[in-house]
């Protein structure tokens, strides 16, 4: 019955709105609780939209069925049992399976997990052997010089699968961590921006002047007035000349070279000058690269947190990693249903109470004081060469001497070689003094090499060869 369905949907909408209001008013204690709440609210909102569309169709009454039921409902169905929706959207009945939604590395959406995609990157031909931390810094830079692949290499199926997998992961990740955001609108904005850049030939790596080696040069696809030979990358204005060209040794050799390089047979087929045999595939690859760049920009906080977390875990012992894993596995039992009792309240107070101002760990709680003392995080080291940047802890201080900030500071001082000799030097004056000393020693070494050969004049005077030749040129000898 449409009238009964109508009444049921109205009640269902009221219950859904009440359930959304109750959950929005809750203050989640952990990242897991927040994600659970957001996903539940997102599910309720989707259900509200579906029920509202159904209700609109009933009120529209395009076939007149609702009007007929209004006339007979009071006589045929004077009363009937209805479903009680009061308990349908209670918290204990609407829990989401957040635990299986994220990997252990992702920590309920706090970090990215690009380990498997990093392995796929390393298997691409011709790429740099970047560590995982280095890869996290540049994975969205899919152009020269960050990704040293020629244009023909990007058209391979292996690269296409890599960039498609990277784009798909980032898109799925943002859907899981931001269920309440209007992502359809965000993705539509990405597509609109790409269409404009592609039409204007301004997509990075796919511009009008992009060549095989990533430098600038003329586009070699002809003027659009003749027939283009992809094998020889040459335009023929006359059709008969093009046909005769196909039987020539130069064309046959170029076609065989293309085929040996692994390109598809379609690349040797003639096409109208000014077009590309790979235009559709190029656009698909360029679109995915653009999506990766846009999504990475949106996920910049998670990306930075991932890098910090990876560095932190590399400095931990195996026992510390195991303890952290046990804490992570125990957390759902403590906060799983959002009603953890007194113990949950105590843990919540611990998160806020931090009188020692200890750094926060991945779970939002202060790290143990023994770990704080072990790594010496209370000791600050200032490096004048780095622009008076402050490093907390001896480990971070020792590590920074080989990082880009310190090396760049030395280069600005004119110190361009033997930078390893400047470890532990944080003062500009000390660095310049050492550099001048090294330069002086190098000059003495050059002078000593020049003074090895001794010459003797007619009177028996012995002198270095350089001085002897100077006196000889002056006519003194």
Average pLDDT over residues 128-157: 86
Asked if pLDDT for residue 117 goes beyond 50, the answer is: yes
Three state DSSP letters for 86-113: CCCCCHHHCCCCHHHCCCCCCCCCCCCC
Average pLDDT for 167-189: 91
CA distance 320 to 49: 47
Report the alpha-carbon distance of residue 167 to residue 74 in Å, rounded.
Answer: 58
pLDDT reported for residue 66: 64
* Tokens 């059709």 belong to residue: 239
Can you give the residue ranges of every domain in the chain? 2-100, 115-208+282-301, 227-275, 375-477
Predicted confidence band at 209 (pLDDT cuts at 50, 70, 90)?
A: low
Using an 8 Å Cβ cutoff, are 176 and 287 in contact? no
Neighbour count for residue 1 (Cβ, 10 Å): 14
Angle, in degrees to the nearest 10, between helices 318-335 and 31-60: 40
Torsion sign across C-alpha atoms 265, 271, 274, 279: negative
d(CA 46, CA 25): 19
Do the beta carbons of residue 389 and residue 405 sit within 8 Å?
yes
What band does 199 get if pLDDT is binned at 50, 70 and 90?
confident
Residue 268: CB partners within 8 Å, gap ≥ 6? 230, 231, 255, 258, 259
Residue 73 pLDDT: 55
CB neighbour list of residue 36: distance below 8 Å, 6 or more residues apart? 28, 95, 96, 98, 338
> What confidence tier does 228 reach under pLDDT thresholds 50, 70, 90?
low
The pTM is what?
A: 0.51
What is the per-residue pLDDT for 165? 94
62 confidence band (pLDDT: 50, 70, 90): low
CA pseudo-torsion sign 351, 326, 111, 172: negative
Residue 87 confidence (pLDDT)? 57
Residues whose CB falls within 8 Å of the CB of residue 194, separated by 6 or more in sequence, listed in order: 203, 286, 287, 290, 291
- What are the pLDDT digits (tens) for 277-326? 446 888 889 999 999 999 999 999 999 999 888 888 777 777 776 676 66
User: For residues 277 and 167, which has the higher predicted lDDT (pLDDT)?
Assistant: 167
Rounded Cα distance between 83 and 396, Å, is: 63
The pLDDT of residue 58 is 74
Model confidence band, residue 351 (pLDDT cutoffs 50, 70, 90): very low
Length of the chain, in residues: 477
Nearest alpha carbon to residue 409 among 391, 395, 422: 422
The reported pLDDT for the residue numbered 105 is 83
Rounded to an integer, the average pLDDT of 215-239 is 59
Report the distance separating Cα 52 and Cα 57, nearest Å.
9
Other C-beta atoms lying within 10 Å of the C-beta of residue 66: 19
Are the C-beta atoms of residues 381 and 394 closer than 8 Å to each other?
Answer: yes
Using alpha carbons only, what angle is made at residue 261 by residues 260 and 265, rounded to the nearest 5 degrees? 70
Q: Spell out where 130-214 has E strands.
A: none
Answer for the pair 423, 401: CB distance below 8 angstroms, yes or no.
Answer: yes
Looking at per-residue pLDDT, the higher value among 396 and 138 belongs to 138
Angstrom distance (rounded) from CA 388 to CA 420: 20
* CA 209/CA 219 separation, integer angstroms: 6
Closest CA to 331 of 357, 351, 308, 352: 351
Minimal CA–CA distance to 37: which of 54, 49, 53, 24? 24
Instruction: Dig out the tokens for 170 from the structure.
Output: 């980032």
């Amino acid at each position: 019955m449409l009238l009964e369905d109508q009444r049921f949907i109205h009640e269902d909408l009221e219950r859904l709105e009440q359930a959304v209001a109750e959950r929005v008013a809750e203050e989640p204690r952990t990242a897991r609780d927040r994600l659970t709440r957001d996903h539940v609210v997102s599910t309720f909102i989707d259900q509200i939209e579906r029920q509202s569309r159904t209700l609109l169709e009933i009120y529209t009454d395009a076939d007149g069925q609702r009007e007929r039921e209004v006339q007979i409902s009071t006589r045929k169905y004077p009363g009937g049992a209805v479903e009680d929706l009061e308990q349908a959207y209670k918290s204990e009945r609407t829990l989401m399976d957040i635990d299986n939604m994220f990997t252990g590395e992702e920590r309920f959406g706090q970090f990215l997990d690009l380990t498997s995609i990093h392995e796929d990157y390393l298997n691409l031909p011709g790429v740099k052997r970047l560590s995982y931390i280095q890869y996290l810094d540049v994975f969205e830079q899919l152009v020269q010089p960050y990704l040293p692949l020629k244009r023909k290499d990007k058209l391979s199926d292996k690269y296409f699968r890599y960039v498609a997998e990277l784009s798909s992961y980032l898109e799925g990740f943002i859907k899981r961590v931001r269920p309440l955001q209007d992502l359809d609108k965000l993705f539509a904005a990405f597509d609109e921006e790409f269409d404009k850049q592609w039409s204007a030939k301004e997509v990075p790596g796919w511009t009008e002047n992009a060549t095989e080696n990533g430098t600038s040069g003329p586009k070699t696809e002809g003027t659009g007035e003749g027939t283009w030979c992809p094998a020889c990358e040459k335009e023929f204005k006359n059709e008969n000349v093009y046909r005769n060209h196909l039987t020539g040794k130069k064309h046959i050799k170029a076609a065989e070279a293309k085929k040996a390089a692994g390109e598809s047979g379609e690349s040797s087929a003639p096409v109208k000058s000014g077009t590309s045999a790979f235009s559709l595939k190029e656009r698909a690859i360029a679109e995915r690269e653009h999506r990766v760049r846009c999504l990475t920009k949106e996920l910049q906080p998670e990306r930075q947190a991932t890098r910090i977390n990876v560095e932190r875990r590399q400095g931990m012992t195996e026992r510390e990693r195991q303890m952290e894993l046990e804490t992570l596995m125990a957390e759902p039992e403590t906060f799983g249903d959002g009603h953890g009792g007194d113990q949950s309240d105590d843990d919540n107070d611990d998160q806020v109470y931090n009188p020692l101002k200890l750094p926060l760990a991945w779970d939002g709680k202060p790290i143990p004081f023994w770990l704080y003392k072990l790594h010496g995080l209370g000791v600050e080291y200032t490096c004048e060469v780095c622009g008076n940047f402050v490093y907390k802890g001896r480990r971070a201080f020792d590590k920074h001497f080989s990082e880009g900030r310190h090396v760049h500071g030395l280069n600005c001082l004119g110190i361009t070689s033997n930078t390893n000799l400047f470890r532990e030097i944080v003062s500009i004056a000390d660095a310049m003094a050492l550099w001048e000393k090294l330069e002086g020693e190098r000059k003495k070494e050059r002078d000593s090499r020049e003074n090895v050969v001794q010459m003797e004049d007619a009177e028996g005077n012995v002198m270095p060869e350089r001085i002897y030749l100077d006196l000889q040129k002056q006519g003194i000898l």
